[in-house]
Structure 1
Amino acid sequence: MAEAHQAVAFQFTVTPDGIDLHLCHEALRQIYLSGLHSWKKRFIRFKESILEVPLALWLFCKYITEEGQRIAGGVLVGTGLWIAVTFVMRNALKFLLSWHGWMFTRHGSVSLKTKIWLILVKLFSGPKPMLYSFQSSLPRLPVPSVKDTVRRYLESARPLMDDDQYKRMEALAKDFEKNLGPRLQWYLKLKSWWASNYVSDWWEEYIYLRGRGPIMVNSNYYAMDFLYVNPTTRQAARAGNSIHAMMMYRRKLDRAQIKPLFLLENRVPLCSAQWERMFNTSRVPGVFTGKSRGSSNTKLFTRPATKVPLLVFWVPLSCFWLTFPSVSQLMALNTIPMCSSQYERMFNTSRIPGVETDVLQHVNESKHIAVFHNGRFFKVWMFYDGRLLMPREIEQQMERILNDTSEPQPGEELLAALTAGDRVPWAKARSQFFSQGKNKQSLDAVEKAAFFVTLDGSEQRYEEDNPVQWFDKSLNLIVFKNGTMGLNAEHSWADAPIVGHLWEHVLSSDPVRLGYNEDGHCKGNPHPNMPGPQRLQWQIPEECQTVINSSLKVATTLADDVDIHIFPFKEFGKGLIKKCKTSPDGFIQIALQLAHFRDKGKFCLTYEASMTRLFREGRTETVRSCTVQTCNFVRAMMSENASTEEKLKLLKVAAEKHQDLYRLAMTGNGIDRHLFCLYLVSKYLGEDSAFLKEVLSEPWRLSTSQTPLQQVELFDLKRHPEYVTSGGGFGPVADDGYGVSYIILGEDLINFHISSKHSSPETDSHRFGGNIKQAMLDILDLFELDNKSKK
C-alpha cells in the first residue's frame, strides 16, 4: 500500500520561525491548525443543514401579515424543537457508538447488553438516513495509552528478531514509555480533544502529499474490468456507458442520495467525508483550496439501508423487542454506521504538485471531463441544454475524438509524463511553464475536470502504468481499443473502498441497467446539433519538453521494473473456508505467511490494511499479520514431525489472534498510527527518539489488502457468474518485497494481484503466486473435508 511505502521512507523536518523552548510553540501551532480545519468543516455542514431554513423564515416574517407571522412563529418554534430533538438524538447516538464491546463477542453468542445496544442504535439512527446523516454522531478516534501501544509493538516485533535484537528494542521501548512518551502523549491528547481526528490530517499530509517520489506505482492504485466478459468491443460505446454511470453516481453523491455505509458483519455506520472530492479535483502546490462540507476496512461491504418505520420514544422497549426478536434480524437492518467523509473529494479533485508538499485542489462543481487520445487532450462538456448527456451522446463525443486525425502539438503527446515522475520537477515546470496563457487555461481544464479519461490505442486487458494517464487526478478511467477498461486512482484523498464503491456502481450499471444495442452501440440516438469536444491548446517550449522527457525516463524505468502477476484462485472460496469455521480473511493471511516463508525462507514485517471508519474522519490502521502464533503454525507446517491435530490447533490459535488484532485496529487500538503521530510530535518538539526512529524505518516487505465487494445486491453471481470483477491492486512497497491484493468473489472464487520488482533477486511474482496457491490448498487439506463429508 502507498501508506506503507511512504511510512518506510518517512522524513520530516521542522523549521519554524520564532522557536521557543523545546519547540512547543510549533507543536501547539500544528494542533491548533488541525482543530481549526476540523471546526471549519463542522461549521459548513451545520450551516448548510440547519441555519439556512431559520434564516429564510426570519426574512420571510418581515414582509408578511400578523396572522402569517403567527404561523411562521409556530414554524420557527417547531423548527427549534426539531433542532433540539435532533441534537439530543445525535449525541445519544454518539454515546452509543462509542461502545465497541459488541465487536469482541463470539459469533453465535450475543449478550443481553449487546442486544439492547443494537436496539438503541437502531432507534436513535432514524428511519431513512442519508449519506452524511451519521457524521456528527460518530465518535472521535481514541488515543491509545503509550503503555498499551509499546506492549503491542514489542509483541509484534518478537517473531522478527533474535534474542539480542529483541532485548535491545525492548530497552529502547521501555525507556521511551517511561521518559519521552508521556510528554508526546499529552500533545496528542490535546489534539484529539480539539480536532475531529488526531491522525487523518497528518496522515494525508505527511504520508501522501509530502512524498516527493513518483505517485505512479508508489501511491496510486488500480481497479480492473470484468474477469470473463466484455459487454461491447466498441471503445466509444464502452466509454459512453461508463462515463454516464460515473456522472450519475456523482449526481447522487452531490445530493447525498447514496445510502450511508454500514458495517455488514455487525451493521454499524462509517464516515463519508472522503467521498466529496473524488471528482473535479486536482492536487496543487500551496494551501488547500477546496471547500469542504465537513482502505479501509478490507472486511466491509455496503448495502442500502433498509427502510424501518421510526419508533416514537414512548413506545415501550418491550414492544420494540417484539418487533425485532433476534439480533440477526437487527443486524440485517444495517445498524452500525461508518464514516462517509472520504466521499467528499471523489470528483472534481486533483493533486497539485509543490516543491516541498503537494495540495489537493477540489472544486465544488465541474461540468466537463478531460479526455486523452493519440497524444491529444480534449475538453468534453457533460451537459447540454441544461441536462446530463445520455450514454449514446457521450459515445458520439468519444467517436468524434477517435475520428480526429489532427497531430499532437509539440510536447503534448508526452505531457502527462510530468505527473508520473518525481514531484519536484513537475512542481517547478508547472510554475514556470503553465502559469499563464494557453497552457494555464488548458491545464485548468484538466485539473478542474470531473475526472480524466484515456482512450487507449492498444487492445491490452489492462496496462497498470500507462505514461499517458494523468496521475494527479482523483480518478482516471482508461478504455482500451477492444472495449475493456480499468481505473487508476490517486491515493491521498481517499482509500480503496471508496473508489471500489463507485467502480461497483459503474460495472453493475454498464451491461445491465444501461446495456447496448445488438450492434454494440449505447442505447439511444446521437444528438444532431450537439457541439463537439474542445481541443486543448498548448505552447510547450523545448526547455519544458526536456523536463517532460526526463520525467518520462523516470516513469518508464519504474514501470518496467514492476512485476505484476494476476491470477484467479478457483479451487475454492469463502464457502469452503467457512465450513472450516475460520475467517476467510484470517485464512488467506495465514496462507500468505506460509507462502512467504516458502518463498524466502524467513518471516517479515507484514502490513494488512484495516479501517478506522467507525470513527469520524477515520481512514486506515495497520494489522501486523506476522504474529508469534502465525509463525508457530508456519513452522509446524514446515516440520515433518508435527501431526495434523497439532497443526489444526495452532491454526485456530493463529486465526483467533489475527481476528483479535483486526478488532483492535478497527476500534482505535492499533499500533502504527499512534506511533506515527507520536513521532510527528517529537519532531515538532525537536526531540530525537531512537525507538520511534527505528520503528518508522522498518520495511514492510509484505504489504497486503483485501478489496471488499461492498454492494453484493448489485451482482447476482449465482445467476450471472460471468459478471465477476477482476478486482484491483497496487505496486510493491519495498524494493525487495511483495504487494498482494485479493478480492473474495461469491462462494468459490478469490482473485489475487501480486506485485514485486524485477530488479530484486529475492522476488518473483509468479513464483510467489504459485506458493500462495499451494499454501491455500495445504491448509485446506488439514481439515480433511472430503473424509468428513463421506462419514
Structure 2
Amino acid sequence: MVFLKSVPLQYSSRAIVKLLDKNLISKDYVEYQFIQQSQIPTLHFQSALPRLPIPELKLTCDRYLAAQRPLLIDESYRKTEANVQRFKEGVGKQLQKILKDYDNKNKDTSYISELWFDKYLKSRSSLPINCNPVLVLNNDDKPEYSTQLIRTTNLIISSLRFYRTLTSELLHPDIYHLNPKKSDTEKLRYLVSKLPPKLAYVCSYFYKSFPLDMSQYPNLFQSTRVPETDKDRLLQSPESRHITVQYKGHFYSFEVLTTNNDIVPASQIMENLKFILNDNIETNKFPIGVFTTLDRNKWATIRHNLAENGNETQLKIIDSALFNVCLDDNDVGNDPYDVTRQFLHGDGSNRWFDKSFSLIVAKDGVSAVNFEHAWGDGVAVLRYTQDIYNDAKDKPRIHPDTKLTEGTSPNVQRLDIQLDDHLKNCVQQAKTEYKTICDNLDVNYTIFEGIGKDTCKKNKVSPDAIMQLAFQVAYHKLNGTFVPTYESCSTAAFKHGRTEAIRPCTNATKAFTLAINSVNQPSVPQLKKMIQECSTIHNQLIKEAAMGQGFDRHLFALKSMGEKNGIKSNMFDDPEYAHMSYDVLSTSTLNSPAIFAGAFGPVVPDGFGMGYAIKDEFLGTLVTNYQDRTNGPDFIGALKKSFEEIFAILQAN
C-alpha cells in the first residue's frame, strides 16, 4: 500500500491508528517516517512545567561566599565578605526587586532565558574550541555498515525520522524517572496522555517522574547563528526541506523532504550522497567554511562582503538547511586524540560552525555531532545523538546490498561561491589564524580501568563527587593552588531552564586535597571520612543546582539587571567576582552508551576543558588545553596518580 493522502504535520499516535484503519496510510509509511510513536505528545507537559525559581538573596549570597572561601586568602575573603554584606543589605535588594518584576512580566519563560541567549550571542569569541562542543558516536558494531556512504545515509535518514517525529509531536517527552519500574510503564503513559497538561504533570510527579523542558528542541533543525556586529542573531527557516553537504571544502544541497514533508526514499538520499562523493572536483583552495572560525565581528563584516559579491542566495541555502553534513576526506580511526582533533575543530575548511549542528562523517565512517551552543544545551543534542545512533544501528534503511532504484538520478546542486581577490585573501588569513590556534591546542586523555561507578556505590560515595575531587587533587599536585572550577548542571526540570553552575571546589575538597598531598597524611580512616564528607557536600550542591538554587545564574541575572538600569554595585566591581567566573577547570559529563567521547575547549587561556565519563568499571577523562600556557600530559599524569590514591583509600579495610 502506498501513501494515499496528505497527512497533517501534527497528529497523535491515535490519529495514525485511525489513518491506518481507513487505509489512508500504510504501516510501511509510518515505520519509515517516524523514529517512534509516543502515546504522550512531545510538548504535553510544556505549559504545566514549574517556573525556574529566583533564589532568596540571602541564600545566594551565602552560597557565593561558601564558593569563594577555598579560593581566597583571609584578607581577600574578608574584603569580599564585606562587599557581599553591603550588597545584600543595599543594592542587592533593589536589583532583586527589579529581577522579580522582570520575571513577573515574562511568565511564559524563565528569568534566565533571554539573558543567557544574549550572553552567548553577544560573545565575540570564535565558535570552534571556545563555544562548540562535540559528541563522537560509537562505531557501528557491523563493519559492513560503517562505510562513509552507508553510515552517512543511515544517519541522515534517522535524523529526518527524528525531525518528523518531533514536528508531529510523536517524540516521547523527556522525563526523569527516579523509579522507572513504577513510572515508566505503558499503563501510566496511557493515563498521562489522557489527562490535561496540569493534571498530567501532577500525576507524573506523584509517581516520582519529572517531565523536562523541551523548548530547545525545535532549534535543532532549520536553524543557524548569523554573525552580526556586537550581537549575533538566531535564524530559523521552518519551510526548508533540504540539507547541505560539505565535501572537499565545497557546498552541495539537495532536498530530503517532499512538498508534504515526507522523507524522500532512502535510495534517493544514497544516490545523492554517492554523486557528491564521486564528484572529481579538486579540493577547494578557498573554502568559505573557514570564515566561521573567525572572531564574530570580523566574520560579520566578511559575510556582508560575501553576500554583496553575489553569494546571497548561496548563504540563504546554507542558513536555511534542516542541518549540515560534513563528509571528510580522511580516516580518523579510534584514537581519542585524533578523533577529538578532527571533530572538535579540524582545519575549518570542511565545516560550518554557525549551524545548529553538523553531522560529521569521516572517510572510515567514524561520526560525530558538532553543535553551536547559543540556541541550546547538551540535553537536547544528547537525546538527538542517542536516538539517531540507535535507530541507524538497529533499523538501518540502507544495507551493503542496497541497490539504487531503477531510473533514479541524482538531484544535487553544488553551490558555486563567487570570491574576489579580497575575499580570497580573507580565506587565506582565516586559515592561517585558525591553524595557529589549533596547533596550540593540546588533547590528552586517560582511562582508569577496573574501578568506576560500582566501586563508588559500594563505598557509598557519589561517583561524580569522586571525579571532581580527583580534579582538585590533581591540579593542586601540579600547582599547589586552588582555582575556580565549573561543572555544568541542567535546569531542564523548569520551563525554559538552561544550566546552572556547580562549584566543586569546596572547603571539604580543599581540606582533603591538602591532607592527601601533604608529607604527613592523616590515617586512612580519617581520609575516608573526609572523602565521604566531600561526597555529601557535592551531592547537596548538585541538588541545589538542579532545583534552580545555585548562585551563579542568579548573580548573573542581578548584574544584568544592574547594567540595564544603570545601577552599579561594589560587589560586581570586585575583582574576586570576576575571578570566580574565570573557570580554570571547566568540566562536564554526558554519559551514554551511544557516545564514544565528548569534548570541548578550555574556556580561559590557562585553563583545562575536561569532558569525563563515569562507567561501571572505568573512569574516563578527555582534557584540552593550550600548550603555551599549561601542560596537558603533566595534568593527566597527576590525575592518574590522584585516582590511584583516592581509590586506594576507599578500598582499604
TM value normalised by structure 2: 0.85
**Cα distance 1:531–1:523, how it changes in 2: closer, same or farther (>3 A)?**
closer
Q: Please list the CA deviations of residues 664-705 of structure 1 after superposition, one character each: whole Å capped at 9, or x if unmatched.
A: 111111111011111111112223323113313541100111
Per the alignment, residue 389 of structure 1 pairs with: 264
Q: Please list the CA deviations of residues 590-632 of structure 1 after superposition, one character each: whole Å capped at 9, or x if unmatched.
A: 1221122123221111100011111110010000100001111
Distance in 2, Cα, partners of 1:227 & 1:313? 40
8 A Cα contact 2:139 2:146, kept in partner: no
Find the partner of 1:406 among 252, 262, 281.
Answer: 281
Find the partner of 2:299 among 426, 447, 451.
Answer: 426
Per the alignment, residue 328 of structure 2 pairs with: 456
Distance in 1, Cα, partners of 2:88 & 2:583? 24
8 A Cα contact 2:309 2:418, kept in partner: no
Offset at 1:522? 6.8
**Cα distance 1:204–1:303, how it changes in 2: closer, same or farther (>3 A)?**
farther
Distance in 1, Cα, partners of 2:440 & 2:55? 40
For 1:244, the aligned partner's letter is: I
8 A Cα contact 1:393 1:527, kept in partner: no
For 1:460, the aligned partner's letter is: V
Find the partner of 2:218 among 314, 327, 344.
Answer: 344
2:435 aligned with 1:556: yes
8 A Cα contact 1:237 1:392, kept in partner: no
Per the alignment, residue 410 of structure 2 pairs with: 531
Per the alignment, residue 756 of structure 1 pairs with: 625
**Cα distance 1:266–1:169, how it changes in 2: closer, same or farther (>3 A)?**
farther
Distance in 1, Cα, partners of 2:452 & 2:398? 32
Q: Please list the CA deviations of residues 496-543 of structure 1 after superposition, one character each: whole Å capped at 9, or x if unmatched.
A: 1211111111221223221764xxx37464453233311112211111
**Cα distance 1:385–1:654, how it changes in 2: closer, same or farther (>3 A)?**
closer
Per the alignment, residue 777 of structure 1 pairs with: 644
Per the alignment, residue 487 of structure 1 pairs with: 369
**Cα distance 1:523–1:749, how it changes in 2: closer, same or farther (>3 A)?**
farther
Per the alignment, residue 216 of structure 1 pairs with: 128
Structure 1, unaligned stretches of length 5 or more? 1-47, 50-126, 268-301, 315-328, 710-714, 716-723
For 2:59, the aligned partner's letter is: D
Distance in 2, Cα, partners of 1:385 & 1:158? 60
Find the partner of 2:386 among 482, 504, 507.
Answer: 504
2:521 aligned with 1:641: yes
Distance in 1, Cα, partners of 2:388 & 2:538? 33
Secondary structure (helix, strand or coil) at the match of 1:224 reads: strand
Secondary structure (helix, strand or coil) at the match of 1:734 reads: coil
Q: Please list the CA deviations of residues 35-85 of structure 1 after superposition, one character each: whole Å capped at 9, or x if unmatched.
A: xxxxxxxxxxxxx99xxxxxxxxxxxxxxxxxxxxxxxxxxxxxxxxxxxx
Offset at 1:350? 0.4
**Cα distance 1:392–1:685, how it changes in 2: closer, same or farther (>3 A)?**
same
Structure with bigger gyration radius: 1
Per the alignment, residue 570 of structure 2 pairs with: 690
Trace 1:151-170 onto structure 2 (pairs within 5 A): 151-170=62-81
Per the alignment, residue 199 of structure 1 pairs with: 112
Secondary structure (helix, strand or coil) at the match of 1:478 reads: strand
Trace 1:492-641 onto structure 2 (pairs within 5 A): 492-514=374-396, 517=399, 521=400, 523=402, 525-526=404-405, 528-639=407-518, 640-641=520-521
2:231 aligned with 1:357: yes
TM value normalised by structure 1: 0.71
Per the alignment, residue 130 of structure 1 pairs with: 41
Find the partner of 1:440 among 308, 312, 325.
Answer: 312
Structure 1 stretches (4+) deviating beyond 6 angstroms? 302-306, 311-314, 329-334
Per the alignment, residue 335 of structure 1 pairs with: 209
Distance in 2, Cα, partners of 1:431 & 1:537? 17
Offset at 1:391? 3.9
8 A Cα contact 1:214 1:555, kept in partner: no
**Cα distance 1:588–1:305, how it changes in 2: closer, same or farther (>3 A)?**
farther
Secondary structure (helix, strand or coil) at the match of 1:783 reads: helix
For 2:112, the aligned partner's letter is: V
Secondary structure (helix, strand or coil) at the match of 1:174 reads: helix
Which stretch shows the higher mean deviation, 568-577 or 420-429? 568-577
**Cα distance 1:230–1:351, how it changes in 2: closer, same or farther (>3 A)?**
farther
Offset at 1:765? 2.3
8 A Cα contact 2:212 2:492, kept in partner: yes
Distance in 2, Cα, partners of 1:332 & 1:235? 47
8 A Cα contact 1:352 1:358, kept in partner: yes
Per the alignment, residue 246 of structure 2 pairs with: 372
2:607 aligned with 1:737: yes
Q: CA RMSD in A?
A: 2.8
**Cα distance 1:741–1:499, how it changes in 2: closer, same or farther (>3 A)?**
same
8 A Cα contact 1:345 1:493, kept in partner: yes
Distance in 1, Cα, partners of 2:413 & 2:460? 58
Which stretch shows the higher mean deviation, 616-625 or 751-760? 751-760
